[in-house]
Copies of this chain bind each other. A is one copy, B any other.
Amino acid sequence: MSSQIAYNLRAFQTLKTDLFRQDFLLTWEHPEEELKAILNLAETFKLMHQAGQSFKSFDTGLAISIFRDNSTRTRFSFASAANALGLGLSDLDEQKSQVAHGETVRETANMISFLTEVIGIRDDMFLGEGHTYMQEVGAALSDGAEHGVLHRRPSIVNLQCDIDHPTQALADLCWLREHFGSVKNLKGKKIAMTWAYSPSYGKPLSVPQGIIGLMTRFGMDVRLAHPQGYDLIPEVVELAGKQAAESGGKFKVTTSMDEAFADADIVYPKSWAPYHVMEQRTRLLKVSDKEGLKHLEKDCLANNAKHTDWECTRAKMNLTAGQKALYMHCLPADITDVSCKAGEVSAEVFEQYRIPTYNEASYKPFVISALMFLTRMKDPGAKLEMLVNRAQNLYL
């Protein structure tokens, strides 16, 4: 057993978690100690994988994914996590089924869950809907478990909703922890979560909301920057302020990218659609107003185009602490002259930080593994000890 794994195991066993057969929907619903346990476990699983040691924890059982939007990295992260833990993956293709609204969510949630351990859901397209849908599925599972229909209530893992993208934000935090040495070291570090220009439209708000909703809990100096009108959901912004105050950090909203970048230790420039546009879009989609949607997209793109200067260039990076802030992105980024004519980041800056963004992404399968493990194991500390003691290199 590597000394780092042994050290992590002992630390993990001191952390109390209360996730057994629970859902994981929004990071801010969970106490700091629980988040630390997740970070610790994700890192431990990563170390075990690096050492060629299996952390398979289940003999059988299904992990179901429901993707209501396209996905590559989260899809493969979920598949990898399920496989690594020993669960079989089944994707619910809603075009071949009846999961929809009202009565049927309740029914289908139970019908697919008789031998299911975890349900991962991505539902990030419509403001006001994704989180609500996950809660509906959760209520249906609780109902089924209470009535004895389900032997064990499966856990829901939010793979991105309209409010939060917790597996992304937690993977980002894992990466910051590695990069800066510890969570404690993040105290006082300045992170700029800023809007950036993109020629596309309708990008969800969940990443910036997830970042300000998580990073304000560790004493960081969090700056949210976006052009006038590109607001996030007000409740999340308010929460970020409250959390920053409680953690001894700072939270400030600005309409200047430069101000956010000034002396920043970390920058996270990323496009999103304005809150009110997403609201309007959801309304128009509900009534299938194609003409209205076309107008909205046109207006929105025209508005975006006024802010092409919100690009993460070398000049902008030079404003940051020591001119070398850590650049972060959930990927794929809109890279100027590579994936589009003008985008979120210059090719030069992206190329410089390309490998760090891959490292950032590499934590996601392990974060999802940790969430699956913690929501299913009654005594995760004892189970992890078993896994660690069992481990042996599998590649002869």
A: which residues have CB within 8 A of B? 49-50, 52, 54, 56, 58-62, 64, 67, 70-73, 75-77, 79-80, 82-86, 88-90, 92, 96-99, 102-104, 107-108, 110-112, 114-116, 144, 147-149, 151-152, 331-332, 335, 338-339, 355, 358-359, 361-362, 365, 376-380, 382-383, 386, 394-396
Contact = CB atoms under 8 A, between A and B. Distances in A.
Contacts of A379: 396
27 contacts: A54-B59, A56-B60, A58-B394, A61-B83, A64-B76, A67-B96, A70-B96, A71-B97, A72-B108, A72-B111, A73-B111, A73-B112, A75-B96, A76-B111, A77-B114, A79-B88, A82-B88, A83-B90, A88-B88, A103-B338, A111-B358, A111-B361, A114-B361, A149-B358, A149-B359, A152-B395, A378-B396
Given A60-B84, A377-B396, A379-B396, A110 B358 contact: yes
A71 B60 CA distance: 23
Contacts of A386: 396
Contacts of A338: 102-103
A108 to B, nearest CB: 6
A98 B61 contact: no
A90 B79 contact: yes
A382 B97 CA distance: 39
A49 B89 contact: no
B79 A62 contact: yes
Given A50-B151, A115-B49, A107 B396 contact: no
Contact of A339 (B103, B114, B396): B103
Contacts of A49: 115, 151
A54 B50 contact: no
Nearest to A85: B60
Contact of A358 (B83, B99, B147, B361): B147
